[in-house]
A and B are shown apart, each in its own frame.
Chain A
C-alpha cells in the first residue's frame, strides 16, 4: 500500500464509516474525514522539530498539515501548529545567526541596490494579520489523483506578521520604474549550478497593486520568523495564496513582465484536468471565499452544541457565514466571535444548535463583502488546487 493510499484509507476510516451519505435532498454529500490524526508514525523533520507532533500530519519532510481542529478559536494560529509547505529544502541555521545581516536586492526601481535587513528596519514598520493558505489546500478532497500532498483543510493558518512595507522601500529607492506591472520576489535558496535556474527557482510575480499591502516580514506572531516559515525574511502578500509569500526573500524586482521561472510560467496555473500549464491560464494569486467547520467533528453529545469554524474572503472582508446540519438543505446564520483582525484575516464563527441523537452532515457557507458566495462544489482542476466547495468540506457528525 503506498503512502497516499494509506492516508486516504486512514481518513475514510476515521470518517463516518462510509465515504458518502445521502443528504435530505437526496444529493450525494461526501463525508470526509473529520480529524486527520497523524497515524503514520512519521517524525518531524529537524528544521521543524519544535512543532507540536500531535497537531501535525506529516505528508513529507516539506509538507506538514495542521490537524483540522488544531487551528483553535483564537483567530491567530500559533506557530507550533502552523502548517508548512516548502518547495525546496530550507536553508541551514546559519541564515538566522545574524538576522539583521540578511541582504535583499531591489531591482526595477530608480536607484536599485542591496540592503540589509537592519537597514530595511529603519524605513518603516507595519503589522498585518493574514491567512497563508497553500494553493493545494483541499487537494485530498478531489477525486482525481493529482500529484502533490493530499491536503485537506490544514494547509492554512492565520498569523500576525510584522515587517517593512514594500511601498516604503520602493519610495526610498526612488519609486518603481515606468511600465512596471508586477512585483517579483525570489527565494534565497542556493541552487545547484548544474540546474537551469528557471527550472527550480522559487520566484513569483504578483500584480503591482499587491505591493500596497505587501510587507517584508521579520516577525510572525511575536517571534522572529522561524526558518520553517521563511525567516529571516519573508515576502508577505496579504490575501494571496502561500506560494506568492516567498520565503528567504533575496530579491524584489518591479518588472514589466512576469517571471520566466517555471513556477510562474506553467506552475500554479488553474486548468482543466489533463491540460499542461501555460501563461494564459489563471495564476494562483488572490484567494477565494471559503470557510469550514472545526467543531464538532466525528461525535458529540446531544443537547446544546456549539458549531464553530473559520471563514475568510481572500482580499475581501468576509461578511456572513451560514451553517447547515443537514448537508446544505437548510441554513442558519452564524455569528462572528473574537476580534476582526482585518480583511486578510479569517473570522471565527459560531452557531449554537440543539441536536438530537442521530447522524448529521455539518458544513458552512461564507459570503464576502462583494457578495461572492462560497461555492457548493469545486470543479476539478488539473493540479487539484484549493477545494473550497462546502459539500466536501462538510463533516459527518454522530450525535449520541
Chain B
C-alpha cells in the first residue's frame, strides 16, 4: 500500500495501532480483521482484503458509512489521521 506516503512516522503508526485496538470506542478490531494488529473481527469488511487508502479510512471514520459508527466526535484529528495511516500502511501486508 502507498497509504503511508503522506509521511507517517513510526510514532504515528504506533499511535494508530493503539487507537485501532483500544482507544477507539468501539475499537476497530472488534468488527474488522487486520492481521498486523492481530484483530480478528468478522462482522465488518476484512481490511486486509479491502486494503483501503488512508483517505478512505479517514472518510469512513469521519462519516460512519452504512452500519459503521462515526468517530468524528470521539477521536481527535490526530488519532483519526494516525489510525488511517496505520491501516493503510499495514492492511494486506501480511
Contact = CB atoms under 8 A, between A and B. Distances in A.
A194 interface: yes
Interface in A10-54: none
Contact of A148 (B52, B53, B66): B66
Contacts of A89: 42-45
A11 to B, nearest CB: 17
B43 to A, nearest CB: 5
A192 interface: yes
A293 B33 CA distance: 40
Contacts of B9: none
Nearest to B73: A276
Given A3-B53, A61-B45, A89-B45, A194 B65 contact: no
A263 B69 CA distance: 9
A2 B88 CA distance: 10
B11 interface: no
Interface of A: 2-4, 60-62, 87-89, 145-148, 189-192, 194-196, 199-202, 262-263, 267, 383
Contacts of A262: 64, 67, 69
A267 B52 contact: no
A4 B56 contact: yes
Contact of B56 (A3, A195, A200, A267): A3
Given A61-B49, A89-B42, A199 B60 contact: no
B67 A200 contact: yes
Contact of A60 (B50, B62, B63): B50
Contact of B43 (A3, A146, A147, A200): A200
Nearest to B68: A200
B50 A88 contact: no
A192 B56 contact: no
A268 B30 CA distance: 24
Nearest to B58: A147
Among A88, A190, A201, max chain B CB count under 10 A is at: A88
A88 B44 contact: yes
Contact of A201 (B49, B53, B67): B67
A62 B68 CA distance: 13
Given A147-B63, A147-B65, A200-B68, A192 B30 contact: yes
